[in-house]
Each structure stands twice: as C-alpha cells, then as structure tokens.
Amino acid sequence: MATDPAQSERADDTYAEFESRIERISNVGNAAGILRWDQEVVMPEEGTPARAQQLSTLSSISHELLTADETGELLEELEDADLTDEQEAVVREVRRRYDRETSVPQELVEEISETTANAHPTWKEAKENDDFETFAPTLEKLVELKREYAHHVDPDADPYAVLFAEYEPYLDLETAERVLERLRDELVPLIEEIDASDADLETDAFSGQFDDDDQEALARDVLDSLGYDWSRGRLDTAPHPFSSGTQFDARVTTRFEEDDLLGSITSTIHEFGHANYTLGLPDDGYGTPLGESRDLSVHESQSRLWENHVGRSRPFWEHFLPIARERFPELEDVSPEEAYEAANQVYDDNLIRVEADELTYHLHIVIRFEIERELISGDLEVSDVPEVWNDKYEEYLGVRPETDAEGCLQDIHWSHGSFGYFPTYSLGSVLAAQLYAAAEEELGSEAPRASEEPSGDEPRGDLSEDVREGEFDELNGWLRENVHQHGKQYTTPELIERATGEAFTADYFLEYVDEKYGELYDLE
Amino acid sequence: MATDPAQSERADDTYAEFESRIERISNVGNAAGILRWDQEVVMPEEGTPARAQQLSTLSSISHELLTADETGELLEELEDADLTDEQEAVVREVRRRYDRETSVPQELVEEISETTANAHPTWKEAKENDDFETFAPTLEKLVELKREYAHHVDPDADPYAVLFAEYEPYLDLETAERVLERLRDELVPLIEEIDASDADLETDAFSGQFDDDDQEALARDVLDSLGYDWSRGRLDTAPHPFSSGTQFDARVTTRFEEDDLLGSITSTIHEFGHANYTLGLPDDGYGTPLGESRDLSVHESQSRLWENHVGRSRPFWEHFLPIARERFPELEDVSPEEAYEAANQVYDDNLIRVEADELTYHLHIVIRFEIERELISGDLEVSDVPEVWNDKYEEYLGVRPETDAEGCLQDIHWSHGSFGYFPTYSLGSVLAAQLYAAAEEELGSEAPRASEEPSGDEPRGDLSEDVREGEFDELNGWLRENVHQHGKQYTTPELIERATGEAFTADYFLEYVDEKYGELYDLE
C-alpha cells in the first residue's frame, strides 16, 4: 500500500479515535473486574442485589460501545489503512470481538445471562441434594441456548468449535482434540502402571493441623520467594481462589484449610503464576489488546508452569522447606525428598477434579470434554450424562462415582453456560511443559532432557540450580521476554512458535511426566 | 391535569424509560464509588495510573448519559405529565443535575479536573515545605476556574452561592450565612468564658499508649453497640477516615493512632453515623434519587448526631466505658464522668480544624467560609489569604498560626477546587442538634430542655436512659422514619420541617452547647 503522507495522517487520526474507543471499553471491563474481586473478597453478604445491577450496567455499556456502528466503521477504515504490526494486531483482536458480539442478538445474550443467573442456585441445590433431575431441565436449556448462540456466530461451523473459540480463539479445535486424545491414550496406561507399582512414596509429610494465620504468613513467604511485586498486588482469601487485575494491580487470592497445608502452598503458587503473567504485560499497552493477556490456555500455562514445573520440583522443596520450617517447626523432620514425594503423589481413587494430582487431572478434563462435545452436537442427551460420566470414570480412571454430587454435578462450569472451557485447563498444562522445556533449553537444565544428547562443555546457566537457590529472576525474565510482554500482539500459535521454536505439541508434557513419574514410581 | 388513561399509560412508559436511564447513571456512579473505596483502602500503591483511567472513563460515561439529548427530552415530557409525588421528586432532582451539567462546557470541566489533579501534589508539597507561594498560582487558577464554572451555571447569581449549591442545593446561602454568623457571634464569647473559667476538667482519662489491634477490636465493639448492620457493611482503616456505599453495602473506615484512643472511638462513631444514614435509605429506591441520601449538611447531621449528641454524652460513657475496659484494663480507674469530661474538653490553643473540639470547630469553619466567599467574589486576593487567615484566627480564637502549614495550608479542600464545602460541616452540626431535640421531644429526655416547661405526669420513654443502656433502636427508628427513609424525596428544608416541625434554625444547637458547656465549665 502506498504511504502517501496525507493518507497516513488520516489513518493516524482514525487509529487514535479507534484507540480511545477501545481504551474506554477496556476501562469499563477493568472496573467490572474490580467489582467482581470486591464481591468475592470483601463485599458484605447482603451487597449482592446492588452489585448485580452495577455489573449488569457495566456489561451492557461495554457491549454497546463495542457493537456501536462507529466501531464497525472505524474497523473497516483501519483494515484498509497502512498500519504498524502492533496496530494491525489490535484491529485483528477487536474485529474478532466485534464480529462475535454483533452476530448474536441481544435478546439471546440476555436470555443466556438470565438463565445462567438462575442456573447457579439450581445447580448448587441439585449438588447439595445429589439430585441431577432438578438440574437436568436447566442444563438442557443451556445446551440449547449455547447451540443457538454458536449458530449465530457461525452457522457453518461445528457449534462446539465456536464455543471453544470463546475461550481459546486461535488454537483450532482439531489441534486441541489431538492433544487431548494423546493425553488420554498415554496417561491411562501410565496411571495404570503407577497403580500397579509397589513404590513406597512418602505421603504423610504434610499431614497435621496448621493454623490459618501461619498458613497465610507462609503464603506470603511463597509469594516473596517467587518475586511477586507487592507494590502492584496483594494477597487475600476467597472461597474459590483466583487472581485478577491488570499490569498495574494484579491480585492473588488463596484459601486455607487446617488440614491441607500443601494445598494452600500449591494453590498460592498457581495463582502467583496467573498474576505474574498479568504483571508482565507492558504498561504502555494498558487499555488495548497489546496490554492484555492471551487467552485461557496461555494463562493456564503460566499458572501450571509455576505450580508444577517449579513448585512440584525437587529443587523447589530444597529451597522452600527451610522457609516453611520457620513457620511450622513440626516440619523439622520432613526431608525435601519427602516433601517432593508428597507433592507428587498420584491418587488412584480420586473422583473430584479440583483435588486431582498432576496426572489424573487430565483424565477428568478429557471426560468433560468428550461429554460436552456430544452434548452440544446433540449426540448425547442430557438425561444420559450421569451414566456416561460414571462409565467414563470407570474406564479411564478405574473408579466409579456413587453419587452425581461426586460425579457430573461436581463442577460449576456448565451452570455458567461454559462449554468448551474445560479443555483449556489441560492445554495450559501441556503448553507449560513446552515453555518450560524451551526455558531450560536456553537457561540450562541440570539434567539434559532424555531426547537430547549431552551438550558437552559449552558454558551455560542452570535453571534447576536457580530454583534450588530461590533465584527466579532468570526464569521470569525468560517468560517476560518470550510470553508476557507481547500481550495479544501475536495469536496463540504464533506466540508458541516464537517462544519455543515449534508448533504446539504434547511431546514435552508427555516426556516430562514419563520421566518424573517413571522415576518416582520406579517404572520401566 | 386530566388523567386520561391513554395519556397516563404513555407517561408510565416514558417514566419507565427515564427511570432505566437514571438507574444506569446511578449504577455507573456506584461502581465508581467502589473503585474509590478500593483505591483508599486496599489498592496496591502502583495501581494509580490504571485506576485514574478507570475512574475518568466512568465519570465521562456518566456525564454523557446524563447530558444526552434523550435525557432532556424525557425530562421535558415528564414535567408535563401526571406523575406521583415520588416521581415528581425524582424528575426534580435529575432536572437539577441535568441543568448544571449541560450548562458547563465539557472543556471547562476537563480543565478543572486536570488542574485539581495537579493541584493536589502542589498543595501537599507546599504544606510540607510551609511555602504558600508555590501553591498560590494554583489556588488563583482554581478560584478563576470555579468562578467561570459558576458563571456558566447561572450568570446572574452570586457565584459563591452557585458553588455552595453544588454541595447543598436546597439551603439558600442567606440561611447558611445567618446560621454561621450566629455561631460566630455566640460561640466567640462562650469560648472566651470557657477560657476564663477555672473549672478543673479531667482531661487525662485517655492518655497512654493503646495497641492498634485492640483499638480495632474496640472500634468493632462501638459499631456492634450502636447497631451497625455487618451484613451490609464492614470496617477497614484508611489514612483519612470516610464512609461510602449504598443501602446494600455501606462501609466504614477509621484509623488508629497509638496515643489517641478517644480519637479513634469518636471518629468511628462519626463514620457510623454516615453509614447508618446510607443503610436507612429504602432498598426499593436503589438506583434513583428516592434511594439516595440528601446532601452534605444532612449527611453531616447524621454523623454529628451520633458523634456528639450520643457519643459525647454522659449516658454514652456510662454505657460504653465498661466495654472499653474489657479491651483496655488500664481504663479501670477512669470514671464515666472523667471520660465524659475528657471527650468534651475545649482546646483554647488549637490551630488545626480536624483536631478541634465540638465548640471551636465552628470558628475554624466560619474563618474558611468568610475567606472563600471573598476569594470567589474577588474581594480578597489569593496573596492576602495567609495574613487574613492569621488575623481571623487571632480575632475569633485568640491564637495566631506561626506558619502557613498550620494556617491556611492545613486543609485539602481548596486543592480539590472545593469552595462552598466547608460550611456544610457546621450546618450539619446545627441540624444534628435540631434533629436530636426533636427526637428527644418525641422519645422523651431525662431533663426537659431549658426552654420547656416540665411536662408533668404524662408517660413517655427516655432517650438518655436508652443511651445509658446501650439501646439505640428507638433513636435509630426515629431517624429512619423521619430522615433516612425519604431519600431525596423532599428538599432539605422540607425534610427538616417534616422531621422537626420547624424551619432550619441554630436555636437548638446554641441551647445545647450553652447548657452542656455551661455546666461542664461552671459558667453563669
């Protein structure tokens, strides 16, 4: 395209107008984020009716700003203009959202919103009473509405692919499906081998009763140790831990249970990973997609990288156990190796996703993925969900839920109308392994990966050694440079390719778990 | 007006459209309120740049919604329609805001907003360095801009009256001025008499060092004792205590200084008064002026009523001292009478408004009122403010500031561009006395007021006895019924008249202080 100065100046003006419009939308969204944090963390119990109205108002203002004719006109003009790469990325991201939001009639959006608002208490009650029947009609309604929603967005596409793209717009469903199938095909036999193993892991390292206040102090130690920037964050408790915010203010929540010290440590590390990604977004991108994190899988890759590859590693426990002993002298007799084993025990009889270990977790996800795909395609009736759910648990994990409360009613997601969300948890773990391998490649690792020839005498750092010494700056620097700082400039596949030199693959994850659990459980 | 059914149905539709529009504006404003609470109480220090953008976006969205042509058209239509009294009140309130906001050019609003944003750090530095000169040009600029602002709102009115009406729209400036002049004329000699008195008040009752955590526990006791609804509120700390929120969620902040236990108690009671007003607004009025509190003087009347008429009374200390002793056994030897005296000491040498007692406080306000009136009218040059300030302190209070830091630089208000705000503090106290007298009249008081003949043998309750027993339901019920529940349905003068049977008057305040301080200081 020719770069006639007058034309280019006009493009600058148009872009400036466009930018100020999307900054506005972004500020409304970030304000809503603070209101949601407040609601989960500090709001008095009776504040709900007013808060619901405030959030609904902000959400409809944001929708109106985005879908206004002016936005569409600006997009069209900018798509014909001579833009920088960054500007093009911003236009691409806004176009995506614009097309989605303008394609779905507002009445349908409102119907979904009302149905999910009522679905939540219905689901909660059904779970409490272990009564799937009372939730079934709502679930049917939600499936139907989301199918309709997908049809509006793209009448020619697989509706589940459309819904999945809501959470993970740039990884196509085929790729996701291939990865999940590989996880199923390789993890099922691995877990069976582990079940059959007579390795004697230390699993009582963290048993006992641990005071809440001391657990909180330790959670702060965890965050200090990982390098959390307290001037841009804070730690609170919430019934369902989460992290949220912007690069200027990314907060972590966690929770404490007296008998689960290990859980609060790993959950805090997990949320640190999310917040740390947000804090790595560029300050000057605030208000546009350049300053926003990529989608759910990439976010989850950051939390899982810290939780699993750092926090469930031997060197981490060599580093962190002495810190934990300061708060809890009863850990005096626990060795780093015992802590490592306790943090990596595979539970062969667990039915609950959120309590699952690093391996079986993915089978919980595969089951949900397979079921929701068929629900949306119409190949599975809602009334058959409990049976199919239980059969799959038996097939993949060797355990059968005795109630729906500990079966298909356990998760909140479907009551939110979220279909296509679950897979991003597993994809994030898989990506975490790929990224961590690339970081090790560049920063050095203690043991060269199995697939790699020893690299001889060239000097290099050592990531394991860093973790052992509680030095996380190098790793974080690598993540900042290769992932965080890019915001949404690249699509997810581009980002992965640039960071790791390869397309998205499950190879590294499977190599990592084979090596780690093979050694832990004395497998072949 | 005729009530033709078709016409009335059309009015209903119009009103519904209007209501949904103003509910939207109200929700945006309440969302901003949460963001401001968050900023003062929990936001990490580096969160400011993003927060400033979020607040500025919400404020401009709110402005655009209010000043949109549609709002004006709906107002006009409704002003010709047959409405209920409540609907008419809502239209009246929105019309006021609409006329103000549409009359001032947006560029001027933005200039004021930018100037005050920069004025704050300039003022802070000037105060720290005791250097009025560096703040003077900013103050001049602000005076000029606010004068210009007032001119846009009403070119024919006294500009100070226009600015005062920003904070107190329905009490006219003449009334306010008359009240303030009476305070000056009657309090100056009263305070001189107190200075000359040789009464020996116990003033060391609360001297000592008091642990922060115990002070916080006691602040919670205070709120419990007064009947704060924790299901719709919370207590936190903030550098400058405030309360904010809605009827569903009205939060209190306070602060603790080791050597000022009394200060944290009275400040907590004060903020309780504000929050308690907000909590008394009707739930079903949420989102419209019917569910919003009246303006600054009425709000301040609620905080002062609880702080002074309840919290600085003898019966309160008879009730509360035993509770305070539970937290602070060192108060064992303090008697309720000594606590009462300590809480009501008049400081004859204090230069700082926020540290002033219940009496001298109003002279601090009168001085500011007189100065800012003349600044806005142009009768006083900014460069002469320090001299005039010091002279007035000498004249009214018998003390002369030695620096501007403890003189005309002490308060933040002018750096916010707030001229006309100060008087509402005193008007609130005056109204508190009038309301409390009316409540005593209805609920009964231990000692009949001096102006009143003993009422003989008719049975009635006793407000003092209630306070002594920590029973605040009757008083609060009276406030709910006569003040809180009405939201903005009545104008301030109407509200006062309905609640007390009289127009706004300083009589009750002056009678109250004469009686109270006459007795405390053994005056004639």
**pLDDT(B450) > 90:** no
> Which residue(s) pair with A235 in the sheet?
A252
pLDDT, tens digit (0-9, with 9 covering 90-100), for A299-349: 999 999 999 999 999 999 999 999 999 999 999 999 999 999 999 999 878
Distance CA B511, CA B516 (A): 8
Instruction: Output the CA angle A120-A123-A128, nearest 5 degrees.
Output: 125
Give B50 to chain A, closest Cα distance, Å: 6
A225: its two tokens: 């140790």
Residues 6+ apart with CB under 8 A from A157: A150
Instruction: Report yes or no: B355 and B345 within 8 Å, Cβ to Cβ.
Output: no
Secondary structure letter of residue A172 according to DSSP:
-
Total residue count of chain A as it appears in this document: 524
Give the residue from chain A lying closest to B25, CA to CA.
Answer: A57
pLDDT for A200: 86
CA dist., res. A234 & res. B46, Å (int): 11
Q: What is the DSSP track for A56-81? A: HHHHHHHHHHHHSHHHHHHHHHHHTS
Residue-level pLDDT at B236: 97
Q: Residue B459 — very low, low, confident or very high, per pLDDT cuts 50/70/90?
A: very low
CA distance B3 to A324: 76
Q: Confirm whether B474 is a catalytic residue.
A: no
Q: For residue A229, what pLDDT is reported?
A: 97
> Please, which contacts does A367-374 make with residues 24 or more away whose CB atoms are closer than 8 Å?
A367/A392, A367/A393, A367/A396, A368/A411, A368/A413, A368/A422, A369/A180, A369/A422, A369/A423, A369/A426, A371/A408, A372/A160, A372/A414, A372/A419, A372/A420, A372/A422, A373/A160
CB contact under 8 A, B61 and A232: no
Can you read off the two tokens belonging to residue A390? Answer: 């239980």
Residue in B44, B61, B229 closest to A249 by CB: B44
What contacts A344, CB < 8 A, 6 or more positions away? A201, A312, A357, A358, A516, A517, A520
Q: How many Å lie between the alpha carbon of B515 and the closest alpha carbon of chain A?
A: 41
- Which helix H or strand E contains B237, and what residues bound it? strand B235-237
DSSP A501: S
At position A409, the amino acid (one-letter code) is L
Q: For residue A226, what are the CA distances in angstroms to A10, A311, A337?
A: 47, 10, 20
Contacts of B23 in chain A (CB under 8 A): 53, 57
Cα A254 from Cα A268, distance rounded (Å): 6
How far is Cα B14 from Cα B320, in angstroms, rounded to an integer? 53
Contact B261, B208 (CB under 8 A): yes
- Closest C-alpha among B301, B272, B285, B287 to residue B499: B301
Residue appearing with tokens 């506005």: A24
Q: Work out the average pLDDT over B106-128.
A: 93
Q: For residue B219, give how far its alpha carbon lies from the nearest alpha carbon of chain A (Å).
A: 18
Q: What's the pLDDT tens digit per position in B500-510?
A: 999 999 999 99
- Residues of B within 8 A of A229 (CB-CB) are 46
In this complex, do B23 and A57 lie within 8 Å of one another by their Cβ atoms?
yes
Contact criterion met (CB < 8 Å) for B249 and A27:
no
**Which residue bears the tokens 């899982």?**
A304
**Interatomic CA distance for residues A42 and A40, integer angstroms:** 6
Assign residue B380 a region: left if phi > 0, alpha if psi is -120 to 50, beta otherwise?
A: beta
Domains present along chain B, CATH in parentheses:
5-156 (no CATH), 212-343 (3.30.2010)
pLDDT at B252 exceeding the cut of 50: yes
Interface A-B: count of C-beta contacts within 8 A: 111
Find, among A110, A116, A102, the residue nearest to A72 by Cα: A102
Nearest alpha carbon to residue A206 among A340, A314, A326, A307: A340
Distance from CA of A290 to the nearest CA of B (A): 15
- Answer for the pair A376, A421: CB distance below 8 angstroms, yes or no: no
Q: Among candidates B390, B388, B382, B384, which has minimal Cα distance to B414?
A: B382
CA distance B25 to B288: 9
Pairing of strands B235-237, A235-237: unpaired
Strand B235-237: give its sheet, edge to edge: B235-237, B249-254, B243-246
What's residue A451's pLDDT? 46
Using the 8-state DSSP alphabet, how is residue B397 labeled? I
Q: Does B62 touch chain A (CB under 8 A)?
A: no
- At B88, is the secondary structure helix, strand, or coil? helix
**Contact present, A153 and A100 (Cβ < 8 Å):** yes
Q: How far apart are CA B29 and CA B59, in angstroms?
A: 8
Of B93, B166, B271, B338, the catalytic one is B271
Q: Given a cut of 90, is residue B479 above it in pLDDT?
A: yes
Cα separation, B162 vs B169, in Å, equals: 9
For B163-206, how does the pLDDT look when each residue is reduced to its tens digit (9 = 90+)? 999 999 999 999 999 999 999 999 999 999 999 999 988 888 99
Q: Is B270 labelled as part of a ligand binding site?
A: yes
Q: Running DSSP on this structure, what letter comes out for residue B489?
A: S
Q: Per-residue DSSP letters for B6-72?
A: HHHHHHHHHHHHHHHHHHHHHHHHHHHHHHHHHHHHT--GGGHHHHHHHHHHHHHHHHHHHHSHHHH
Rounded Cα–Cα distance for residues A179 and B32 (Å): 44
To the nearest whole angstrom, how far is the Cα of A213 from the nearest Cα of chain B? 15
B-proximal residues of A, 247-276, CB under 8 Å = 247-249, 251
Question: How crowded is residue B227: how many other Cβ atoms within 10 Å of its Cβ?
Answer: 15
B283 touches chain A (CB under 8 A): yes
Alpha helices in B344-491 (DSSP H): 361-377, 385-392, 423-443, 463-468, 473-482
Q: Do A57 and B233 touch (CB under 8 A)?
A: no
Cβ–Cβ under 8 Å, residues B50 and A248 = yes
Please choose, from the candidates A404, A353, A397, the residue with its C-alpha nearest in 3D space to the C-alpha of residue A382: A404
Q: B68 at the A interface (CB within 8 A)?
A: no
| Dist. CA B433–CA B509, nearest whole Å | 5
> Mutate which of A60, A61, A70 to disrupt the B interface (most B C-beta within 10 Å)?
A61
Strand partners, A243: A252
Q: Does B54 contact A at CB distance below 8 Å?
A: yes
The burial class, CB within 10 Å (0-12 / 13-18 / 19+), for A451 is exposed
* Whether residue B80 has pLDDT greater than 50: yes
> Does the CB of B20 have a partner CB in chain A at under 8 Å?
no
In this model, does residue B449 exceed pLDDT 50? Answer: no
**In contact, B302 and B495? CB cutoff 8 Å:** no
Contacts of B41 (CB under 8 A, 6+ apart): B236, B237, B238, B253
Look at residue A452 and give its three-state secondary structure.
coil
Tally of residues, chain B: 524
Asked whether residue B448 carries a pLDDT value surpassing 50, the answer given is no
How is residue B295 annotated by DSSP? -
Q: What is the mean pLDDT of chain B?
A: 94
Q: Return the structure tokens found at A70.
A: 């002016």
Nearest CA in chain B to A286: B50
In chain A, what residues touch B249 (CB-CB under 8 Å)? Answer: 43-44, 46-47, 50-51
How many CA atoms within 13 Å lie on the side-chain side of B355? 9
DSSP helix/strand/coil, A6: helix
How large a percentage of chain B has pLDDT more than 90? Answer: 90
Check residue B447 and give its pLDDT.
Answer: 53
The reply to whether residue B28 touches residue A58, judged by beta carbons under 8 angstroms, is: yes
Rounded CA separation B380/B384 (Å) = 7
Could you say which residues of chain A have pLDDT below 70?
A: 1-3, 446-460
Neighbours of A236 (CB within 10 A): 16
Helical segments of A256-360, H only: 261-280, 296-304, 314-327, 336-343
Report in angstroms the alpha-carbon separations of B105 from A219, A310, A395, A434.
51, 57, 70, 56
> Residue B147 and residue B120: Cα distance in Å, rounded?
19
